Structure 1
Amino acid sequence: MLVTSACLAIFIGLVHSYLGERYILTRLFKGELPKLLGSDWFTKRTLRFAWHLTTVAWWGFAAILFLLTNPSDDIQNQILVVIAVVFFVSGLFSSVFTKGKHISWVFFWLIAGLSFYTALLS
């Protein structure tokens, strides 16, 4: 059952990102958006990375669901590594999509680092 749930989470992430780009974001960006930092570029990039961040989070949940199908004695560390990867990728999205202007990447990478470090200590 958990494998099915994990597969569904991966599928819904793919559908969410694809359909969101195709039918929501592209149409939204044709309209008037707030001009942050002098133009609507930052607004569009922030909306785009935030939209796809949902998919990254869902894939992280899928990985955790998959790990829980056959939990080992090391399950806490495995989940911490998944969390670290999700927040590292989230930081990449934030830094790349906004060229570092949206400072969430700092916090995402701090969370990733602390989670990974904790996994290494255990």
Structure 2
Amino acid sequence: MNLLLIVSAIAGFGCAIGHSYLSERYILRPLYAATNGSRILENPVNRRLMYAMWHLPSIAWSLVAAATLWMFFAPQWFDATASTLLLYFGIGIYMPAALWNAIAFRGPHVGNILLTIASLALWFGVNV
């Protein structure tokens, strides 16, 4: 294991924190403030559900980043099977999110750059 695992974890945590904080501030709060008569957004259950689903990717990225840090600081807990599982799960979480982000923004964006760095650093950090 090497320092690429730290890079992957930092990129994963950075993307998760940025996604949650910035989207809360610039998307969700204005959206909830200006319901414009939308019956969907006036329902408190729908608001809580939308809030939870919006932050779900950040939770997944944080969990993968935390497991990556755990792999770096406590490698004795990770045998070949656990390392492979984290590798596939981590890349399976990071890379599709990076691709969908690139498609949605139609080009480079800090989110897809950080997620790609997290994915590649995890791949090379485990396989080196």
Scaled by the length of structure 1, the TM-score of the pair is 0.51
- 2:8 pairs, out of 5, 9, 13, with 5
Give distance in 1, aligned partners of 2:77 and 2:43: 49
Structure 1 residues 61-96: Cα deviation after superposition (integer angstroms, max 9, x where no partner): 1022223436325443xx79xx9xxxxxxxxxxxxx
Give distance in 1, aligned partners of 2:60 and 2:28: 19
- 1:21 pairs, out of 4, 17, 24, with 24
Deviation at 1:57, TM superposition (A): 0.7
- 1:45 pairs, out of 45, 48, 51, with 48
Q: Residues 3 and 40 of structure 1: is their aligned pair in 2 closer, same or farther, counting only changes over 3 Å?
A: same
Scaled by the length of structure 2, the TM-score of the pair is 0.49
Q: Residues 9 and 35 of structure 1: is their aligned pair in 2 closer, same or farther, counting only changes over 3 Å?
A: same
Q: Which has the higher helix share?
A: 2
Q: Residues 41 and 3 of structure 1: is their aligned pair in 2 closer, same or farther, counting only changes over 3 Å?
A: same
Give distance in 1, aligned partners of 2:57 and 2:5: 20
Q: Residues 22 and 73 of structure 1: is their aligned pair in 2 closer, same or farther, counting only changes over 3 Å?
A: closer
Q: Residues 26 and 73 of structure 1: is their aligned pair in 2 closer, same or farther, counting only changes over 3 Å?
A: closer
Q: How many residues align?
A: 78
Unaligned runs of 5+ in 1: 84-122
Contact 1:34 1:43 in 2 (8 A): no
